[in-house]
Structure 1
Amino acid sequence: MRKYFFSVLFGVLFSVPAFGCLNGETLHLEDGTILYEDYEGYVPYGHSFTNTEELNKILLSLEKGYRETGKLNYLSDKGLILIIQGKYKEAIELYKKIEKAEPNRYSTASNIGTAYELIGNNAEALRWIEKAVKINPNSHYGSEWIHINILKAKMKGGKLINSRFLIGMDFGNEKFPESERDDEKLFVLRKQLYYQLNERVSFVKPEDKIVAQLLFDLGNISYLMREKEEATETYKMAKEYGFNKPVLEERLALYTPPVIDHVQKKAIKEIKFQTKAIRRTELISFCIAIAYLLFSGVIVFVFRKKIF
């Protein structure tokens, strides 16, 4: 009996499918749609949005939800989809209607500010982003102060595009990055800077001086936190966005990534760019795995006297 039981038990436990962890940011819309899922880590590759056809389907679903419920969350999410589609002026008009119906919603101020920035109206963008911060200063990991500094730098020109103004510190010009902040403070800044950049690179393509500078800064923080591989990837992105100071090449040379063969490279690429459908399948696999483990535990508990 014992032999048979443990054969079944181990068969159940070790037949559970293996899967990778995807612990990045996830955005769920009011209609239940998952708009994007980001990967774990602090290299800001940006969000991977779905195709135009799927975005149009999401719009129809959100419009239907609003007609049936009257909830403004559906309209707010519709505005977000319009921004992703590049329909910035249409999104602005929609958010103005939402603001009139229900003033001082954080999502309205934040998203309309983003839309104004994307059409080049930085002054109006700054006004709305500052309003958003007053409504909810802790949103986006308390990182919107960086967004405010970005807008001010864009309005006043190149002289403010530097680390000191944008994030309140720099990392020196020597071969190795330097900072007087401890790891705890660097971690907070790293999370805030990553969030802002991950949002920004989803819409702003190379070259861009501000994004380039901030990517270089994020790479420096990652290096100081001993995440050298992530630092190198972020430095490479800074170079792609136009950061061309000699110190970048020195810091790129600080870490030599391990040599991997073409099979490993292919596997990494497939993992990095897998689709949302595959991710949902992995989530289902995870739930099944947990169910198997719980079921096995119940069996052990119920039959513990007979087994042992």
Structure 2
Amino acid sequence: MKKYFFSLIFAIIFSVPAAACLNGETLKLENGITLYEDYDGFIPYGHSFWGDQELKEILLSLDKDYKETKKIEYLSDKGLILIILGKYQEAIDLYKGIEKLHPNRYSTASNIGTAYELIGNNTEALKWIKKGVQLNPSSHFGSEWIHVNILKAKIKGEKYITSQFLLEKDFGKDKIPKSDMDRRSLYDFRASLYYQLNERISFVQPKDKIIAHLLFDLGNVSYLYRDKEDAMEDYKLAKKYGFNDPILDERMKLYSPKVIDNVERKVIREVKYQIKPTRRSQLMGMIISVFALIFSGLIVFTFRKKIFTMLK
């Protein structure tokens, strides 16, 4: 009896779900390999991909899987790995072959467009990205209209690198950014802009005028959303990417962080960007964990006399 009783207690206590770090956007390949897994939050640091050696091994694995199954998804994933490795023309040729075999796949159009943009052929990139939007208007959380505008600005010239042209919004030139968007609209707009920047920063290193301008506007949206700490990080990234308008310095002065040491700052950032925003399923897991612990405590309390007797 003693053995089974304690087994029950320990089973309840140690079966409580572990609360791991909460993560953001994830991309899993057809073969089950996770290509990247981002933190939650709205500061676009880009994806952390595997190293070149690991990516080459993944390529071999995808080749093998495709030969065995003939599933086009393996071939499409191979093209994505080629893009990450910087083999843009090889990826374009591969995707054009996929287009002939299986026309009008969204991922084909989107990835060809991305590869063309990365080799500097913005006209072809725009054609394929537009096709991708037609095939799947809600792709990338409905943010691909920003990608279309970016490509148009690249084709038209630098004078089109403005908030109004790229985002069809303007946050003013005053010290404090302004907008007539409500809080829900700000959240959706911020999410779309973050997504586009996070993808772009994964491939484009500083300095870049379009990314710099979009980062500045992401900071403006974050400020309007009353997330001043995120706004400051976005502004810092904008400066890193080459945004040099004096208004940036003015808006960076809007945030005055409390004085904390580097260790505390690191801990705060780790906590913040791993738990925001909390997903419903993960929140439920945490609630279940708490209730399981409470239930375990009640069992111990209820049978405390028997437990103490057994321990004697």
TM-score, normalised via structure 1 length: 0.84
- The answer (yes or no) to whether the contact 2:41–2:273 under 8 Å persists in 1 is no
Distance (whole Å) between structure 2 residues aligned to residue 266 and residue 229 of structure 1: 14
Letter in 2 for 1:111: N
Q: Map 1:16-165 to 2 at 5 A.
A: 19-165=19-165
Letter in 2 for 1:244: N
Residue 245 of structure 2 is matched in structure 1 by 245
Q: Do the aligned partners of residues 94 and 293 (structure 1) sit closer, same or farther apart at CA in structure 2, a change above 3 Å counting?
A: farther
Distance (whole Å) between structure 2 residues aligned to residue 272 and residue 34 of structure 1: 23
Q: Post-superposition shift, 1:21?
A: 3.1
Q: Post-superposition shift, 1:188?
A: 1.2
Q: Do the aligned partners of residues 272 and 87 (structure 1) sit closer, same or farther apart at CA in structure 2, a change above 3 Å counting?
A: farther
Letter in 2 for 1:49: F
Residue 263 of structure 1 is matched in structure 2 by 263
SS in 1 for 2:39: coil
Letter in 2 for 1:186: L
SS in 2 for 1:35: strand
Letter in 1 for 2:81: I
Distance (whole Å) between structure 2 residues aligned to residue 127 and residue 161 of structure 1: 20
Does 2:236 match 1:204? no
Letter in 1 for 2:26: T
SS in 1 for 2:24: coil
Residue 185 of structure 2 is matched in structure 1 by 185
Q: CA RMSD in A?
A: 3.4
Q: Map 1:267-278 to 2 at 5 A.
A: 267=267
Distance (whole Å) between structure 1 residues aligned to residue 234 and residue 153 of structure 2: 22
Q: Post-superposition shift, 1:61?
A: 1.2
Q: Post-superposition shift, 1:263?
A: 2.8
Residue 231 of structure 1 is matched in structure 2 by 231
Q: Post-superposition shift, 1:258?
A: 2.8
- The answer (yes or no) to whether the contact 1:109–1:132 under 8 Å persists in 2 is yes
Letter in 1 for 2:160: L
> Percent identical across equivalent pairs?
64
SS in 2 for 1:38: strand
Q: Do the aligned partners of residues 105 and 15 (structure 1) sit closer, same or farther apart at CA in structure 2, a change above 3 Å counting?
A: closer
Residue 310 of structure 2 is matched in structure 1 by none
Distance (whole Å) between structure 2 residues aligned to residue 20 and residue 170 of structure 1: 39
SS in 2 for 1:153: helix
Distance (whole Å) between structure 1 residues aligned to residue 13 and residue 170 of structure 2: 51
Distance (whole Å) between structure 2 residues aligned to residue 105 and residue 36 of structure 1: 23
Distance (whole Å) between structure 1 residues aligned to residue 229 and residue 93 of structure 2: 43
Q: Post-superposition shift, 1:114?
A: 0.1
Q: Post-superposition shift, 1:28?
A: 0.4
Distance (whole Å) between structure 2 residues aligned to residue 261 and residue 10 of structure 1: 40
Aligned length: 288
Give structure 2 stretches of 5+ with no counterpart.
275-281, 307-312
Distance (whole Å) between structure 2 residues aligned to residue 268 and residue 83 of structure 1: 35
Distance (whole Å) between structure 2 residues aligned to residue 273 and residue 189 of structure 1: 19
Q: Do the aligned partners of residues 183 and 266 (structure 1) sit closer, same or farther apart at CA in structure 2, a change above 3 Å counting?
A: closer
Q: Post-superposition shift, 1:75?
A: 0.5
SS in 2 for 1:24: strand
Q: Select the structure of larger CA radius of gyration.
A: 2
Residue 278 of structure 2 is matched in structure 1 by none
Letter in 1 for 2:253: A
- The answer (yes or no) to whether the contact 2:40–2:273 under 8 Å persists in 1 is no
Q: Post-superposition shift, 1:13?
A: 3.7
Distance (whole Å) between structure 1 residues aligned to residue 264 and residue 14 of structure 2: 25
Give structure 1 stretches of 5+ with no counterpart.
275-282
Q: Do the aligned partners of residues 169 and 119 (structure 1) sit closer, same or farther apart at CA in structure 2, a change above 3 Å counting?
A: same
Q: Post-superposition shift, 1:197?
A: 0.2
Q: Do the aligned partners of residues 85 and 273 (structure 1) sit closer, same or farther apart at CA in structure 2, a change above 3 Å counting?
A: farther
Distance (whole Å) between structure 2 residues aligned to residue 271 and residue 187 of structure 1: 21
Q: Post-superposition shift, 1:10?
A: 8.4
Letter in 2 for 1:182: D
Distance (whole Å) between structure 2 residues aligned to residue 9 and residue 226 of structure 1: 46
Residue 280 of structure 1 is matched in structure 2 by none
Distance (whole Å) between structure 2 residues aligned to residue 42 and residue 266 of structure 1: 17
- The answer (yes or no) to whether the contact 1:22–1:38 under 8 Å persists in 2 is no
Q: Do the aligned partners of residues 19 and 265 (structure 1) sit closer, same or farther apart at CA in structure 2, a change above 3 Å counting?
A: farther
TM-score, normalised via structure 2 length: 0.83
Q: Post-superposition shift, 1:220?
A: 0.5
Q: Post-superposition shift, 1:121?
A: 0.2
Distance (whole Å) between structure 2 residues aligned to residue 137 and residue 203 of structure 1: 23
Distance (whole Å) between structure 2 residues aligned to residue 230 and residue 9 of structure 1: 44
